[in-house]
Amino acid sequence: MAAIIVDRSLAAELVKGLSASGATSTPVIAPFTGEVLYDLPTSTPADVADAAAAARVAQLAWLRIGFAERRRILLKAHDLLLADRERLLDVLQTETGKTRGQAFEEVFQGANAARYAALSARGVLMTRHRRGGIPLVFAARVSYKAKGVIGVITPWNYPLSLALMDIVPALATGNAVVQKADNQGALTILATRRAFIDAGVPAALWAVVTGDGNDIGNAVVDAGDYVCFTGSTATGTKVGLRAMARLVGVSLELGGKNPMLVLDDVKPRQAAANAVYSCFSSMGQLCVSIERIYVERPVAEEFTAAFVDRVKSLVQGPALEYTTDIGSLTNAAQLERVTAHVEDAIAKGATLLAGGRARPDLGPYFYEPTVLTNVTSDMACFAGETFGPVVAITVVDSVDSAIADANASEFGLNASVFSRSKRRARQVADRISAGSVNINEGYRASFGSIDAPMGGMKKSGLGRRNGREGMLRFVDARTVAESTGLMTLPRTGAEFAKLAGVMEILLKTLRAIRRR
């Protein structure tokens, strides 16, 4: 069994960066061992208010330094993240139970997001001229104003990458951030934040608070000029309603029950090898992880056999090197949920092809990657998000049937299509109701495409992160329009009588020449 590798002196050093004055603390458990990693100080609503007030002051100076200096600082932070990679990986694995490789994916994604935001912000927010209402008579330009303080609420499952995918664009566009970190990911976030502070980001500009979601989460929502939330649909709905009551905008990345469609022209073994990673990366504790596979009948038997063989060959265990393929669930609640879903499905007639049991010999929260078939609508795992290492394989007789089943969900976050024909796969992708669709990949093609927006449809969320769209969340568009003086518009009834005909001719002319 792996030893706890984050010592108390490092934890004590990092938690100094918290905005937490309360006398209480919460024990944080190391998933690999079940032992207490350290005691995390708890913030109070007053701490959130104080942090937001300090962030507002810091934001004014941060905005004044301009795009070039912000870019320099954020690119330096990118470099420091990579320089401190090994320690970040240690902390991230110790808090989450991920494998080394899946922890590396987080660091890679976080650095990718930092570089993109640093280099793109100026171009995205450049003041641009727009066509006036009457050509040559009016001129207009659009500029952008930073919103101020962004409230960011992040989950435990991807603490580094999901934080930076929201926080760095907020900083790059001239804002400050007050972040509520989940207790289980706080140390990773504080270690990541330190790279930005060392690079020159003012400490008050990015405040981190911890504590109960109702008290501290609500306080962050109430303090923000815009709110980013990643987590469950139930909680995200409450966050959105609370923010909208103040007419504050939100972006919400919520739950998913993500489908994969395996078409009948695939190479079954190759598709199965790629599909397995899409289901069991980070033990399925990923909002875009695949939980449903629909495979066309001509390749179903070979694909399923190859998939199960691949699952059974995965190396599971606690290791701080690149020697395992899958790690541990992160906490006891996750283990209970996964166990309940699998036991319910088997009791109601599902067929177990692989896994289906906990592995206490490896650690307290280890559970084998599990493959089910014959999953029916009366089972908890049929429509509800398991958020764990469980996937259901269903054989279908046509692409149309697969698409209908994929779309028959209240969620619409991510989906995947496997086919040897890119043209065919794209046609299928266009018919799937999901914010992201990957072709011949499970989630990494879209998740890693920082220049493209990411978010959900239906109950999977609201708004988008990444890309131009993800940056524009954090600013208000402002129009400045002016009269050129070429002509005077009518102001009286008599003047309208003279010019109405001329203005109508102008409209018809613009329509005829297709000018906007």
- The whole-model pTM stands at 0.94
Stretch (H or E) spanning 385:
none
Catalytic-labelled residue, pool 105, 106, 228, 287:
287
Quick one: pLDDT at residue 10?
82
Catalytic-labelled residue, pool 95, 105, 106, 253:
253
Give the span between the Cα atoms of 386 and 409, in whole angstroms. 14
Residue pair 292/402 in contact (Cβ under 8 Å)? The answer is: no
287 counts as catalytic:
yes
321 counts as catalytic:
no
pLDDT tens track for 69-123: 999 999 999 999 999 999 999 999 999 999 999 999 999 999 999 999 999 999 9
Quick one: pLDDT at residue 1?
45
Give the span between the Cα atoms of 342 and 365, in whole angstroms. 15
Q: At what angle do helices 159-172 and 66-83 cross, to 10 degrees?
A: 160
DSSP, residue by residue, 283-352: GG-STT-EEEEEEEHHHHHHHHHHHHHHHHH--BS--SSTT-SB---SSHHHHHHHHHHHHHHHHTTPEE
pLDDT in tens, the chain (516 residues): 455 677 677 888 888 899 998 789 999 999 999 999 999 999 999 999 999 999 999 999 999 999 999 999 999 999 999 999 999 999 999 999 999 999 999 999 999 999 999 999 999 999 999 988 888 899 999 999 999 999 999 999 999 999 999 999 999 999 999 999 999 999 999 999 999 999 999 999 999 999 988 899 999 999 999 999 999 999 999 999 999 999 999 999 999 999 999 999 999 999 999 999 999 999 999 999 999 999 999 999 999 999 999 999 999 999 999 999 999 999 999 999 999 999 999 999 999 999 999 999 999 999 999 999 999 999 999 999 999 999 999 999 999 999 999 999 999 999 999 999 999 999 999 999 999 999 999 999 999 999 999 999 999 999 999 999 999 999 999 999 999 988 888 999 998 999 899 889 988 998 898 887
Quick one: pLDDT at residue 135?
87
